[in-house]
Amino acid sequence: MTRQERIQFLLEHLADVQAGVRDRGTGGDHIPLMCRSWNHPSYQELERLLVLIRSAAPRGYRAVVGMYVHPRFVRRAVCSRCGAVEPPELVGELHRHTARSGFAFVARMVRVPLYPVEQHEVDGAIGWFDEHWQGGVFVPDELLPLVTAA
């Protein structure tokens, strides 16, 4: 995983981390904004940069806020093999990959930007974060299973 991919991963899981992640070793207690992932140096650096990007690159900031800081999550039908996203009415239907193989669409919550966001602005913001990041970009241990699942 490249440095920018790790930054994007941190952004993709920002809403979960801000809501509080169930830490191992705490008996599954829910501790909002005080979990180990939130206190991880990479999330603290991301928080620092979110303040700076607002004035330095307003379009990038707007894209990041719409896509990652305040996204909406909607139910969609997702192919369990290729990840194709379709309307929720297709949950349970087959998504054909070849004439003989099909995989059922399953219900998933999918991130949808709060408002229209241009992908090139998101990419530019991730590049901006990469340029201004102090230190290494690391994924917190609690989120590592999500890296290998992707």
Other CB atoms closer than 10 Å to residue 89's CB: what's the count?
Answer: 9
- The CA distance from 104 to 66, in Å, is 30
- Give which of 107, 115, 149, 131 is closest to 9, Cα–Cα: 149
- Structure confidence by residue, pLDDT tens digits, 112-146: 999 999 999 999 999 999 999 999 999 998 888 88
Return the structure tokens found at 69. 């800081």
- Structure confidence by residue, pLDDT tens digits, 46-91: 999 999 999 999 999 999 999 999 999 999 999 988 889 999 999 9
Q: Would the CA dihedral through 47, 51, 56, 58 be positive or negative?
A: positive
In three-state secondary structure terms, 139 is coil
Mean pLDDT across 12-17: 88
- Give which of 51, 50, 40 is closest to 17, Cα–Cα: 40
pLDDT surpasses 50 at 107: yes
Assign 31 a pLDDT band (cuts: 50, 70, 90).
very low
pTM strictly above 0.75: yes
In three-state secondary structure terms, 20 is coil
